[in-house]
Structure 1
Amino acid sequence: TIKLGVGQVIQGWDLAVATMKRGELSRFTCAPEYAYGEKGAPPKIPGGATLIFEIELVSWRSDNDLFGDGGVIRTKLEEGAGYQEPEEGAEVLCSFRASDADGRLLDDRPKLEYALGSGALGMLSRAVDRALGDMKKGGSVSLRCSQEYAYGEDARAPVTVELRLLELLETEDVSPNKDKTLVKRRLTEGD
C-alpha cells in the first residue's frame, strides 16, 4: 500500500500510478530524474540509473471517498487554519446545509452545535463525523452522499451536504470518576 503525492515513493511511481486503472499491468521506464537521480540508492542502485518497473494496480482508494465505497465523496472547498482537528466526542460549532438531487433544501443550520459520534444528524451523522474529523477551524467541504449515508428513501439522492467548521468547542470531563457525568464547556476565557 502506498500513498501518492507525499514523497513515500520515487516521483516516477507517483506520476505513473496516477495514470493507471484498477487491474492494469504496465511497464514504466523511469529516467534518473524521476527515480533516484545522480546519487542513486547505493549499494543496489547506482547513480544516474534508468529504472524499469512493472506495476499492477490491484486497487485504490481516494482520500475523498470517505468510506471507500463511493457512498460519500468529499470536495474540499476551503482548507481551514491551525493544526487541531476534532476527534470522536469533540463538540464543534459548524454550519450545516443539506439539499437533495433536485436542489430542494432539506436542512439548513447556520450555527449547529454538534458532538462527533452523537448521531444527532441521523443517517448523515457518519458522513459528517468522518468529514469533520479531517477538518480544521474555518475549513469547508461539500459532501455528495448516497441514500445509504443520507436520508434513505426520504430524499432524492444524491444528497449534497455543505459543511463549515466554525469553532472547536473546548470541553473537559471534570467528574471525579472521569465518566462524563459532569462536563465543563468554557464559554469565555477568565482572568
Structure 2
Amino acid sequence: MESCESKIKAEISGPPEMSIGNQGLRKRILQKGNSWKTPIPGDEVEVHYTVRLKHGEYFDSSRDKGTPFRFKLGQCEVIKGWDEGIATMKKGERAIFTVPPELAYGEMGSPPMVPPNATLIFDIEMVSWSSIRDITGDGGILKKILKEGEGCATPKDADEVLVTYVATTEDGIVVSKCDEPVEFSLADGYLCPPISKSVKTMRKGETAELSVKSSYCSRYPKECHSSNDITPTDSKLTIHLELLSWKNVIDVMGNKKILKKIIKMGEGFDHPNEGSLVKVIYKGKLEDGTVLERKGSIEQPFEYVCLEEQINDGLDRAVVTMKKGEQATVTVSSEFLQEIQNKEWLHTASILYDIMLVNFTKEKPFWKMDTQEKLQACQRKKNEGNAFFKAGRFQLASKKYEKECNFS
C-alpha cells in the first residue's frame, strides 16, 4: 500500500479539481482512463479505493483487502457521492474525490470511523464494470452483459436466432438447458418470454446473465435437456444466455404473407425493380418437402423480367428486395399459389422457395436516355403492351402503355 505521505503529495500536485453537480462534490483525476465509455445506473462496477477524513489518515482500503469493491451503480447501495462521482469514471481511471457530508454520512456520521458532518477523501480506481440493463423497465428482467458482442446490430421481431442457454432457480436447480445450440423465430414466441425479449437487445456473440422475477417466469424454456423434473412457479430465475448468430427475416408486404429469410447477405445496396432482367436459381417446395419446381443452375441461371407474371407473384415480390449474390428462403402464403394445378397442394399453408439472385440488369432510366434511346424505348414498351393485350393480360399491358407515355 502506498504511504499516506505519497498519496497526499499526489493529491496536491495533481491536475486541478473539477466540480460534479451542485452539492460540493469535487474530483481530481490522477490517471486517465483507457476508454470513452462510463457506467450508467444499474451497471455492476468494481473499484479499488482508500478513504480518509479530510484532515486525517486513511482508515479503510480495498487494496489492503486484495479484492475490488463491487456494487450496482445508482441503486442506493453506496453513499450518494459515490453514485454521482463514479458515474463519471472511465475504465482504468484513478481519481481523488472530495465528498461533502451531504453526499456522505451527513449529520449522523458512521461511528466509530466517520464522525458527524465529516468530509471524506476517496482515492478511487475504476477497475471494470458489467453493463446491466432493465429490459422491461420495472426490474422484472435485468440483463448483465458478461461478454460484449460484435458490431451494433441486434435481432428484429421476425428474425431467427441461434442461442445457447441454461436456466436455474435461486437454489441452483437447473430448470432447463440446451446441450446443443437451438434456433427459433422470435415471431413464434418459442422458448420463454424473458429470452425472446432479451435476445432482441443483444449483439452477435454477446453472452448475458438474465435475472428474472417470478412474475415473468410463468413460462419456462422448452427443455432440450433437464436434469430434474422440478418446474417451479414462484421462484426467481437466472438464465445464462448466449446469442451465437441470427438470420434476418424481412416481411416483404408487411402482412406476413411473404417472409424472406436471408441465408447469405448480398453485395452492395442496389436491388432489382420492375422491368429488371434478373438471373436466379430457385427451388419451390411444400412444407412436407415435396418439390414443386426447379429453375436455373449455377451453369445456366434462369432469366426473367421482374413483376411481369413470369414466376410466382409472391416470390417475384421478394426478388425485388434482394441484392446481387443474396441467398434466401422465401415463405409465400398459399394465396399466391393459384397457378398450381394440383388441387391438393392448394390446401397447404405456404410454399417455400430456396433462391439465389445471381445477377440483374436494370433498365436505363428515361432521364438518362438521349432522344433516339427514348424513341426506341417507347416502341419497345408499345410492342410489349400489345403482346400482353392480345394475350388477355390487360393489367400488364396497361403498365407497358403507361411506361411508353412516360418516355414520350
**In structure 2, do the counterparts of structure 1 residues 98 and 82 end up closer, same or farther at CA, with 3 Å as the change threshold?**
same
1:42 counterpart residue number: none
**Given the alignment of the two structures, is residue 12 of structure 1 paired with residue 20 of structure 2, yes or no?**
yes
2:142 counterpart residue number: 73
1:180 counterpart residue number: 256
1:148 counterpart residue number: 215
Partner residue of 2:205 out of 126, 134, 138: 138
Shift of 1:20: 8.1
Structure 2 counterparts to residues 45-60 of structure 1, below 5 A:
none
Shift of 1:158: 1.5
**In structure 2, do the counterparts of structure 1 residues 178 and 25 end up closer, same or farther at CA, with 3 Å as the change threshold?**
closer
Letter in 2 for 1:181: K
Letter in 1 for 2:239: V
**In structure 2, do the counterparts of structure 1 residues 133 and 12 end up closer, same or farther at CA, with 3 Å as the change threshold?**
farther
Shift of 1:160: 0.9
Letter in 2 for 1:69: D
**Does the 8 Å contact 2:142/2:210 carry over to 1?**
yes
**Given the alignment of the two structures, is residue 160 of structure 1 paired with residue 230 of structure 2, yes or no?**
no
**In structure 2, do the counterparts of structure 1 residues 179 and 79 end up closer, same or farther at CA, with 3 Å as the change threshold?**
same
**In structure 2, do the counterparts of structure 1 residues 178 and 19 end up closer, same or farther at CA, with 3 Å as the change threshold?**
closer
1:1-23 deviations in Å (ceiling 9; x for gaps): xxxxxxxxx9824xx6967849x
Q: Which structure is higher in helix share?
A: 2
Give the % identical residues.
24
**Structure 1 CA distance, aligned partners of 2:19 and 2:75?**
15
1:86-105 deviations in Å (ceiling 9; x for gaps): 12222211112211222222
**Structure 2 CA distance, aligned partners of 1:130 and 1:94?**
13
**Structure 2 CA distance, aligned partners of 1:20 and 1:178?**
42
Q: What is the SS of the residue equivalent to 1:83?
A: coil
**Does the 8 Å contact 1:86/1:92 carry over to 2?**
yes
Partner residue of 1:118 out of 164, 188, 195: 188
Rg: which structure is higher?
A: 2
**Does the 8 Å contact 2:156/2:248 carry over to 1?**
no
1:59-97 deviations in Å (ceiling 9; x for gaps): xxx952322333222211111101211122222111122
Shift of 1:185: 2.3
**Structure 1 range deviating more: 110-119 or 139-148:** 110-119
**Does the 8 Å contact 2:132/2:145 carry over to 1?**
no
Q: Structure 2 length as normaliser, TM-score?
A: 0.30
**Does the 8 Å contact 1:137/1:166 carry over to 2?**
yes
Gaps of 5+ in 2: 1-17, 26-40, 42-72, 89-101, 104-130, 221-230, 265-326, 328-355, 359-408
- RCO (CA 8 Å, sep 6+): is it higher in 1 or 2? 1
Deviation >3 Å, runs of 4+:
16-22, 151-154, 186-191
Structure 2 counterparts to residues 91-110 of structure 1, below 5 A:
91-109=160-178, 110=180
**Structure 1 CA distance, aligned partners of 2:255 and 2:249?**
14
Gaps of 5+ in 1: 1-9, 35-53, 56-61
**Does the 8 Å contact 2:190/2:196 carry over to 1?**
no
Structure 2 counterparts to residues 25-36 of structure 1, below 5 A:
none
Two-structure CA RMSD over aligned residues (Å): 3.6
1:153-178 deviations in Å (ceiling 9; x for gaps): 9416211111111112132335xx44
Letter in 1 for 2:183: E
**Structure 1 range deviating more: 68-77 or 161-170:** 68-77
**Does the 8 Å contact 2:158/2:250 carry over to 1?**
no
Q: What is the SS of the residue equivalent to 1:131?
A: helix
**Structure 1 CA distance, aligned partners of 2:263 and 2:195?**
24
Count of matched residue positions in the alignment of Structure 1 and Structure 2:
143
